Structures are given as C-alpha cells and as structure tokens.
C-alpha cells in the first residue's frame, strides 16, 4: 500500500511533467480560496450555534444578568484550551500574518489552522466584544502557507497564497470579492502585477461561491439606498470625516494603552479575572457591546435605533432623542475599550468589525444631532450610519480604499461614492497625523518588520540576522600579553581582528592585526605589552535586536567592513559588510522571482 509521502511524491512528479508552474498556482489559488471560505463559514456557524444555545427560555429569562457571566465563561474556556491543550500563543490574525510574511518567509505553523477556529467562536459566541475577520484571516493564511509548503512552492508563491487566503477570508465573510482583493493588496502590500492579480481573483471568486453554497444569499449588513446623495450635504460629510478621524485616533490610542496595561500582569489567570470582570460590567450596563455587534449596525441602517440600543438595566426614556444620541455616543466610546479588554483578558478575535460598529454609532448619532438641533437641516441617518463605518475603517485600519469599496460593495451603495471618498480621505489623513501606523502594523513598524511595496526594504526585513553573524573569532582578555596574543590567537586564526571581552563576556574593544604588525616580532615586548594598552573601540556596535535597515545604515555611516554584535549586553559575534550584502542580494532575488 502506497504511503502518503510516496503518493505526494508521485503527484509532484506528474505535476512537473504535465502542469506549468503558473497553471498550478492558479489551481492552488482556487483551492486556497475554497478552504479560506470554508474556514470563515465554519467560524460564523459555530458562533451562530453558540448563540442559539442562549436563546432557550432558561437563559432568556435572565438575559441581562447573564450578560455579566457569559463573557467570563467564554474567556475561561479559551484560557483552558490555550493553557492545557494548545500550549501556544495565538496572536492577532492579521498582525501575525504580516509578521510571518516579513520575518518567517511566509511560514505559518499548522496549529494556526485550528487554534483560532476553536477559540474565536468561544470568545465571540459568549459575548466577547470582538470580531471574526481577524481569526478568519488567521485560519485562511495558515491554510495557504501550509498548502504552499505541502506542494514545495517557493517563498514568493507561498506569500502570494497567503494573500489569496486573506482575500478568500474577506470575500467569504462579507460576500465582497472586489473589496477583498483591495484589502489584500492594501493591508499585505502584495505585488499587483498581472501574475499575482489573477490568483487573487480566482481565490476571491472561489471563496464567495463557497459562502453562497453554505450560507445562501444572506449578507452581514442589509442596506437599501433610499436617500440619494445631496451636494448640499458635503459640508456635513466633511465634518463627519473629521469626527471619525479623531475617533479613529482615539480607538488606536485606547487599544495600545489597554494592551500595555494588561502586559504588566505576568499571570494570564490574573488578566482573565481583571479583564473578565471589566467586560462583564460593561456588557451589563451597555448590552449592545455584547459580541460582534451586527445587530447594532443593521438596526441603525434600518432606522430602528430602539432595537439597536436594546434593553438596558435602567428605566431610560428612549423617546428623548438626546438621550438616544448620548447612548449611541456611549456605545461608540466604550466599544474600543470593551474590544481591547477582551483581548487583554485572553480572548481571540479581530478589530475589523468593532471599527464598523463604532463608525455606525457615531455616524448615526451625528446625523441625529444635525436633524434635531433646530436649524431646519435634514440629512439621511441611514447614509450617515453607513459612511461613518467607512470613516472608522479608513482611519483605524489605515485602509481607505478597502473602506470605500467594502462599504459600497456589501451595501450596494455605489451612488454614495463621493461622500465615501470624502469621509475616508479626511479620516485617514487625520488619523495618520496622530497615529503613524495602524493597529495591525505599529508594532511591526517599530521593529522594522513592516512589509511595504518597497522590494528593497522587504528584502532587508526578510533577512535573518543569525545567518549573517560570524562567531568564529578568537576572543582576547584585557590582561593578555603580546606573546599570548601571537601564540593563542594570531597563529590559530585566519581572521585579522580579535574582539576583547571581560570575564562577563562584555565587549570592551578590538585589536586588529595591523595594530600589532609593527611589534609582533619584537620578543622583548612579549611580556611587557598587554591587550588593554593595544585595544581600541570599534567604529560602531550592532545590537542583536537592531533591524536590518538599521544595521545597513550603520555600515554606511561608519565606513566599517566588520562590526561587532552585542546580544543581551554580551559579545555575540561579528557581521561583515560583504556577507551582509551577499545575503541581501540573495533575498532580493528570492522576492523577485
């Protein structure tokens, strides 16, 4: 009986003989799109079935009280799965995928295929205030990466298939195939050449068809355009762009502040307790924060703000429009806090949908203010709700094109392209001023690991510092005499420079062969001259955690051909300029073919 490996080997041999590389990439892109779509469908269905469980009479009778309990139960289940079964870190889907592209040559561990598939539905289904788009991308990207590895595809193809998987996840989630392609290009900085565009198209179509097969024609956001764009409203749209831009900056600042707050607690159990209690309290007071928040968006788009706000534990007079406006602003304000707290407590999810929820609440509240300030203005509340989503997405995700096309495509609101563009552009520009990078990319950018459309920069980021560090240098100590240098170092080394370290392996300086050439045959000095009197500082020092871009710039400014590397405060090795440039050229060739 043929084994799995022998069958795969026979298939690969047959493929090389009968299918061209380009044709096989097209086939894989369709397969990856289907698998990413299937993963997304699975995530949505699992959340749906968990929610159905809570609709039985027993739970319905205590619904408000259970808003406090359910998220804690969901987070506890995720904690148990992480600690006892997976025993691995589950990162944010899109950020982890970007890191894999920039630093791991697109290699994503297999466990990422099922990790988010299990933990994200528990987080969201039990009320965690996060979305499913990030986990869907995580699952799809892991499928794409491992499919490429299974069929021995090169690095560039592996990264392309990850982009196809991200496209598929987006297309399947929102049934928006065009926006999904723009998302992959804009967020993952994919090459938009014809050779990469066709696989993205195939993956997107494959994923959308998969979604239709399993979920029918239902869409996440239901919107029918009843109020056409009015030129007189441009001023108000510009103000909305300003508001969503500031709100996007707030969203990002809150995300990083709360994330850093939870990092100070080393115990994951303590994070769970603190975060779980905080989320439970917020959901008890503001029930619309429960779960992803599609109910809020769809009800606001229909003009039913009472259904969007739902039941609250307080007897509020919701016939007072200004109280409704205050509640909508409160939902927008606390959505970012609830989402990040869910992450901090150990939940698994995404930020994509929460930005839409926040944008819809702000857009609707702003329209209500315009219509009720008594100045005889009237704007379309549903249109402003829709376009508010665009503003938050453009600002928070730093993806204005994705925001425009996604909202237009999933709602059929193409007639609103002008206000979509106005709000998206203003919001993005304002957010960019306050927050240089998106939630997905800030940490990567700070480490010099952010993928861009600059191939030279990407080649530098993809390089592994360990592959260019040389450690076969003989080390000297400050008290060594000249005779010992010649006997124990110079005669035994093919190198012409020798690092000097103390007893703690801390780097003190360097001695080069040229420094001792003029005295090396003077035997009278063998016991008189020591290392400390001969050593000198090097032209620069590389920290092991420095980015490749920083290292390359240090070589450029110092004019050195060799520079020492320090790791955790101790001498680690040397990097030569020639070896660094050779590795860079090899990486550039890999990324270009």
- Tokens representing 534 are 């001969």
Q: Is 83 a member of any domain?
A: yes
Average pLDDT, the chain: 82
Instruction: Give CA angle at 10 (5, 15), nearest 5°.
Output: 120
- Same domain, yes or no, for 411 and 538? no
**b/e per residue 92-112 (b: at least 16 CB within 10 A):** bbbbbbbbbbbbebbebeeeb
- Same domain, yes or no, for 503 and 463? yes
- Same domain, yes or no, for 436 and 514? no
338: CATH: 1.10.3080.10
Give backbone dihedrals phi and psi of 567, rounded to 5 degrees, phi first: -125, 120
Q: Is 161 a member of any domain?
A: yes
DSSP 109-150: -THHHHHHHHHHHHHHHTT-S-BSHHHHHHHHHHHHHHHHHH
What confidence tens digit (pLDDT) does each residue in 508-522 have? Answer: 888 888 888 888 888
pLDDT of residue 203: 92
- Do residues 415 and 230 lie in contact, with contact meaning Cβ atoms separated by under 8 Å? no
- Same domain, yes or no, for 282 and 387? yes
Stated pTM of the model: 0.77
Rounded distance, CA 345 to CA 79, Å? 9
* Banded pLDDT at 422 (limits 50, 70, 90): very high
Closest CA to 514 of 562, 555, 558: 562
Rounded distance, CA 354 to CA 173, Å? 15
Q: What is the average per-residue pLDDT within 107-125?
A: 86
499: CATH: 3.10.580.10
pLDDT of residue 3: 67
Closest CA to 259 of 329, 188, 347: 347
* Banded pLDDT at 240 (limits 50, 70, 90): very high
Q: Which of 414, 429, 453 is the last residue of a domain?
A: 453
Is the pLDDT confidence value at 465 over 80? Answer: no
- Same domain, yes or no, for 461 and 410? no
Q: What is the average per-residue pLDDT within 419-434?
A: 92
Q: Is 225 a member of any domain?
A: no
pLDDT of residue 590: 60
- Same domain, yes or no, for 420 and 566? no
- Same domain, yes or no, for 209 and 265? no
Rounded distance, CA 265 to CA 110, Å? 29
Q: Which one-letter DSSP state was computed for residue 84?
A: I
Residue given tokens 């959505």 in the structure block: 335
* Banded pLDDT at 444 (limits 50, 70, 90): low
- Tokens representing 582 are 């050779």
- Same domain, yes or no, for 277 and 425? yes
Rounded distance, CA 88 to CA 109, Å? 11
Q: Is 221 a member of any domain?
A: no
Dihedral angle, C-alpha 48, 49, 54, 57, nearest 10 °:
110
Q: Is 39 a member of any domain?
A: yes
- Do residues 313 and 235 lie in contact, with contact meaning Cβ atoms separated by under 8 Å? no
- Same domain, yes or no, for 469 and 574? yes
Q: Is 96 a member of any domain?
A: yes
Rounded distance, CA 385 to CA 366, Å? 9
- Give the percent of the chain with pLDDT over 70: 87
Q: Which of 188, 215, 242 is the last residue of a domain?
A: 215
pLDDT of residue 241: 94
- Same domain, yes or no, for 12 and 102? yes
Q: What is the average per-residue pLDDT within 323-330?
A: 90
- Do residues 101 and 188 lie in contact, with contact meaning Cβ atoms separated by under 8 Å? yes
What confidence tens digit (pLDDT) does each residue in 373-397 have? Answer: 878 888 888 889 989 999 999 999 8
Among 163-177, 195-209, 357-371, 452-466, the range scoring the smallest mean pLDDT is 452-466
Is the pLDDT confidence value at 462 over 70? Answer: no
- Tokens representing 428 are 């993005």
Q: Is 585 a member of any domain?
A: yes
- Same domain, yes or no, for 258 and 380? yes
pLDDT of residue 398: 86
Bridge partners for 573 per DSSP: 565
Q: Is 222 a member of any domain?
A: no
Q: What is the average per-residue pLDDT within 525-539?
A: 82
- Give the percent of the chain with pLDDT over 90: 15
423: helix, strand or coil: helix
Q: Which one-letter DSSP state was computed for residue 490?
A: G
Domain count of the chain? 3
pLDDT of residue 83: 83
* Banded pLDDT at 427 (limits 50, 70, 90): very high
Cα 206 to chain centroid, rounded: 24
- Do residues 90 and 116 lie in contact, with contact meaning Cβ atoms separated by under 8 Å? yes
Rounded distance, CA 528 to CA 271, Å? 62
pLDDT top residue among 197 and 66: 197
508: helix, strand or coil: strand
Q: Which of 182, 215, 248 is the last residue of a domain?
A: 215
Q: Is the C-alpha dihedral spanning 575, 581, 583, 584 positive or negative? A: positive
What confidence tens digit (pLDDT) does each residue in 16-65 have? Answer: 777 777 888 888 899 999 999 999 999 888 988 888 777 665 555 555 66
Q: What is the average per-residue pLDDT within 528-557?
A: 82
- How many Å is the Cα radius of gyration of the chain? 29
pLDDT of residue 33: 92
pLDDT top residue among 538 and 4: 538
Residue 290's domain spans which residues?
231-453
Rounded distance, CA 146 to CA 158, Å? 8
pLDDT top residue among 423 and 538: 423
Among 24-38, 80-94, 427-441, 501-515, the range scoring the smallest mean pLDDT is 80-94
- Same domain, yes or no, for 258 and 306? yes
Q: What is the average per-residue pLDDT within 216-235?
A: 75
* Banded pLDDT at 328 (limits 50, 70, 90): very high
């Amino acid at each position: 009986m043929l084994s799995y490996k022998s069958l795969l080997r026979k298939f690969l041999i047959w493929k090389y003989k009968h299918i061209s590389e380009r044709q096989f990439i097209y086939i894989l892109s369709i397969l990856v799109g289907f698998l990413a779509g299937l993963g997304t469908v699975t995530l949505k269905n699992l959340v749906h079935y968990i929610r159905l469980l809570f609709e039985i009479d027993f739970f319905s009778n205590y619904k408000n009280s259970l808003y406090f309990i359910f998220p804690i139960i969901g987070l506890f289940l995720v904690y148990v799965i992480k600690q006892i079964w997976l025993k691995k870190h589950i990162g944010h889907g899109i950020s982890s995928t970007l890191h894999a592209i920039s630093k791991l040559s697109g290699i994503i561990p297999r466990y990422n295929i099922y990790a988010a598939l299990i933990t994200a539905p528990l987080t969201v289904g039990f009320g965690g205030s996060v979305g499913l788009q990030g986990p869907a991308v995580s699952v799809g990207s892991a499928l794409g990466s491992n499919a490429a590895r299974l069929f021995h595809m090169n690095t560039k193809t592996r990264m392309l298939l990850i982009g196809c998987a991200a496209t598929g996840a987006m297309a399947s989630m929102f049934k928006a195939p065009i926006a999904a392609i723009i998302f992959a290009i804009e967020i993952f900085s994919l090459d938009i050449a014809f050779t990469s565009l066709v696989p993205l198209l195939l993956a997107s179509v494959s994923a959308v068809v998969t979604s239709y097969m399993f979920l029918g024609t239902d869409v996440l956001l239901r919107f029918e355009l009843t109020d056409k764009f009015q030129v007189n409203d441009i001023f108000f749209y510009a103000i909305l762009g300003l508001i969503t831009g500031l709100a996007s900056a707030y969203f990002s600042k809150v995300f990083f502040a709360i994330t850093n707050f939870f990092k100070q607690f080393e115990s994951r159990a303590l994070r769970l307790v603190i975060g779980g209690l905080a989320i439970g309290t917020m959901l008890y007071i503001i029930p619309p924060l429960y779960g992803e928040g599609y109910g809020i968006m769809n009800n606001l788009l229909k003009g039913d703000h009472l259904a969007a706000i739902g039941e609250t534990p307080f007897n509020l007079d919701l016939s007072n429009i200004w109280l409704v406006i205050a509640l909508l602003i409160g939902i927008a304000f606390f959505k970012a806090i609830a989402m990040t707290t869910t992450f901090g407590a150990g939940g698994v999810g995404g930020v994509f949908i929460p930005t839409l929820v926040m944008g819809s609440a702000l857009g609707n509240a702003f329209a209500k203010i315009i219509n009720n300030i008594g100045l005889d203005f009237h704007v379309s509340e549903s249109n402003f709700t829709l376009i508010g989503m665009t503003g938050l997405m453009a600002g928070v995700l730093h993806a204005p094109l994705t925001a425009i096309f996604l909202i237009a495509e999933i709602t059929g609101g193409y007639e609103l392209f002008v206000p979509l563009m106005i709000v998206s552009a203003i919001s993005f520009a304002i957010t960019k001023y306050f927050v240089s990078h998106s939630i997905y990319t800030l940490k990567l950018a700070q480490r010099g690991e952010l993928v861009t459309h600059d191939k030279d920069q990407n080649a530098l980021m993809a390089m592994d510092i360990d592959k260019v560090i040389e450690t076969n240098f003989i080390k000297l100590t400050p008290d060594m005499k000249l005779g010992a240098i010649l006997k124990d170092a110079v005669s035994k080394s093919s190198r012409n420079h020798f690092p000097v370290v103390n007893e703690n392996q801390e780097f003190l300086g360097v001695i080069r062969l040229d420094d001792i050439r003029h005295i090396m045959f003077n035997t009278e000095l063998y016991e008189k001259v020591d290392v400390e009197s001969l050593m000198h500082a090097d032209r620069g020092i590389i920290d092991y955690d420095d980015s490749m871009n920083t290292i390359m710039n240090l070589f450029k400014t110092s004019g050195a051909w060799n520079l020492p590397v320090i790791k955790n405060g101790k001498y680690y090795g040397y990097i030569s300029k020639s070896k660094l440039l050779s590795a860079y050229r090899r990486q550039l060739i890999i990324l270009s073919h």
